[in-house]
Amino acid sequence: MADINECGVHNGGCSEVCNNNGGSYYCSCSTSGYILYSDLKTCRRRGKYYWLFELIIIAREVSLNFFHFFAYVCLFVCLFVCLFYPGPTCSNSNGHCDHKCTEQPTQRVCSCHSGYELQSDGQSCYGKIFSMMR
């Protein structure tokens, strides 16, 4: 069986170089500073943000529309914030404590001044005199 030269018709669909090899072919880029994109046919200039364009092309190729892609980006950002945001600390708004805030190795602990009682939310302080009236 004779080898078919896929590169002989429309350069095999390659934007630059078409390489014919026994029973198949592949595209490559000959221009310095250009890379073969994920469609394996198109050569584009490799720029500062080429990775972003690659990500968009990959998202498009797996049939994600813009809104799905945006949703995945938002999900990634939310997960990043949830995993790495330390939460309230004593140095940030007094840890949301009404009175005193103490840093522990894994958390912050609220406490109240003398004559006040820490409420069930773990942050609010009420005077003992007021809590007896309720």
Q: What is the pLDDT of residue 54?
A: 66
Q: What is the pLDDT of residue 33?
A: 78
Structure tokens at 94: 């007094």
How far does the chain reach from its first CA to its final CA, in angstroms?
A: 96
d(CA 53, CA 31): 19
Question: Which segments of the chain have a pLDDT < 50?
Answer: 131
Residues 10 and 60 in one domain: yes
What CATH number is associated with residue 43? Answer: 2.10.25.10
In a domain, 19, yes or no: yes
In a domain, 83, yes or no: no
In a domain, 124, yes or no: yes
Place of tokens 């990043």: 80
The residue segments making up the domain with residue 13 are: 6-66
Beta carbons of 98 and 91 less than 8 angstroms apart: no
Residues 62 and 20 in one domain: yes
Secondary structure element (H or E) that encloses residue 77, with its range: helix 66-84
Identity (one letter) of the amino acid at 90? C
How many domains does one find in the chain? 2
Residues 51 and 98 in one domain: no
The pTM score is 0.36
Identity (one letter) of the amino acid at 103? E
